Amino acid sequence: MIKVMLFIDGSWLYRNTPKLAKRYGRSDYRIDYGKLPAVLAEELAILMNLPATEIHLVRSNLFASIPVNYHADDEDLVEKQRDFYEILREEYHYETEIYDINFSGGPVKSQEDVVRVIRPEEKCVDVALASSLLSYAAIPGTYDIAMAVIGDRDYVPAFRHVRQLGKRVAIASIQGSCAKEYLDPADKERVRDFDVIFLGNYLNRFEFKYEPRQVRCESEFHIGNRTVWTTYRPRKGRPFFCDECMAKYTEQRKDTPRPVSTYRPAEVGAPAAQGQGPTQTGMIKRVLAEKFYGFIAGENNQDYYFNKNNLAEDLPWDRVQELGLKVDFEIYREPNDYQAGAAMNVRLAQKRVVAPFDVEDELAAMEAERKAREEAEAALSAQEAQDVLEARESAESGLDAD
């Protein structure tokens, strides 16, 4: 039996899924990642003139990114992305390697009327996939064939080395998004052992289909038979709530206040919109100048995140880097147990307030902590030296007795 290991460039596949949707003729087309590995294994068996039972898919690996330091408007979008990666791990048993991509407070999904001031670049996904290809190839018996779902030419060196290690390489890609090195009939770069498998030829076989099924509703609001028909696929181990119960829950939450943002990325230094939320006065607590964001300690001693685009025109970025600077700001999102709040319209403070923390006190506390740590280390070293001395004396006493 031939061992095959699957390596998917998830970021590349996500970016190019609209091309598959266009080819399929449906803008809402989605890939069923539970079916995709099996379809690729079957097509590889055909290329090798083998029955599908001779292909053993030992592992499916996906490499992708997750936004960090994004604008609060995109929280729901990023949460869905996190859920997607969890589904791959929990339900389809993928191995995933997910890397942060810094959006510096900007929007994750650009609109036609939005120009992002700082465009993030992914730097880790390609390197991680190539490293994983080679590390598994170097372990005897791990796989015989590496099946890579990719399109970028960055993997050419990795494929060459994998083949030099005695493994074979199969490539699955998308028409119009596949590097010419992989399409060359003569394979001058020596990167593959089979013809390229084009995903667009098998869209119906790994389409995510919303098929009706019966599921039990777990809502306390439910009335009548709890078994209902739905096209929704509940997560494993998660409760399911029918549409009627979800509507009741939504009705209950209608009166719950939720901040609404009219955020638009602006040129650096442009004034932020005012009147978006409650105003507080705080002090600049920490700034990561090279990443263009920082944190404010508010009146309630809670931290609030801000970035360069959240500054008003009276507050230049260079001034913000002054530790302890008093500022007024509007709360876009309240902090919780897991993350800091979010601030907008950060400007120089117009009123005198009791500082949420004192810079000199903060530095003094850090110095006291350093001295305490040094004293503890010195005491530990002295105790260790004493223990060694006692052990040596005890050993010498034993020798004298003999």
Q: What is the structure's pLDDT at 373?
A: 62
User: Which ranges in the chain are annotated with CATH 2.40.50.140?
Assistant: 279-348
Residues 258-306 have pLDDT tens digits of 444 444 433 333 333 444 568 889 999 888 877 778 899 988 788 898 8
Which residue from 160, 214, 212 is spatially nearest to 189, judged by alpha carbons? 160
Bridge partners of 215, per DSSP, are: 228
The CATH code belonging to domain 279-348 is 2.40.50.140
Q: Give this prediction's pTM.
A: 0.61
Which residues of the chain fall short of a pLDDT of 50? 111-119, 258-275, 352-356, 399
Q: Which residues contact 200 (CB under 8 A, 6 or more apart)?
A: 19, 20, 23, 174, 175
Q: What is the structure's pLDDT at 364?
A: 64
Provide Rg for the chain, Cα atoms: 29
Q: Rounded to an integer, what distance in angstroms lies between the CA atom of residue 264 and that of residue 106?
A: 9
Q: Rounded to an integer, what distance in angstroms lies between the CA atom of residue 44 and that of residue 194?
A: 8
**CATH of 2-202 among 3.60.10.10, 3.10.270.10, 3.40.1410.10, 3.40.50.1010:** 3.40.50.1010
Q: What is the structure's pLDDT at 20?
A: 95
Q: What is the structure's pLDDT at 353?
A: 47
Q: Which secondary-structure segment (H or E) carries 22?
A: helix 10-24
Q: Rounded to an integer, what distance in angstroms lies between the CA atom of residue 297 and that of residue 284?
A: 6
User: Which ranges in the chain are annotated with CATH 3.40.50.1010?
Assistant: 2-202
Secondary structure of 126-143 in the HEC alphabet?
HHHHHHHHHHHHCCCCCC
Q: Rounded to an integer, what distance in angstroms lies between the CA atom of residue 12 and that of residue 152?
A: 8
Q: What is the structure's pLDDT at 262?
A: 41
Which residue from 153, 148, 2, 125 is spatially nearest to 66, judged by alpha carbons? 125
Name the DSSP letter for residue 35.
T
Name the DSSP letter for residue 289.
G
Which residue from 38, 48, 39, 70 is spatially nearest to 2, judged by alpha carbons? 48
Q: What is the structure's pLDDT at 380?
A: 59
| Main-chain phi, psi angles of 283, to 5 degrees | -135, 145
Q: What is the structure's pLDDT at 236?
A: 73
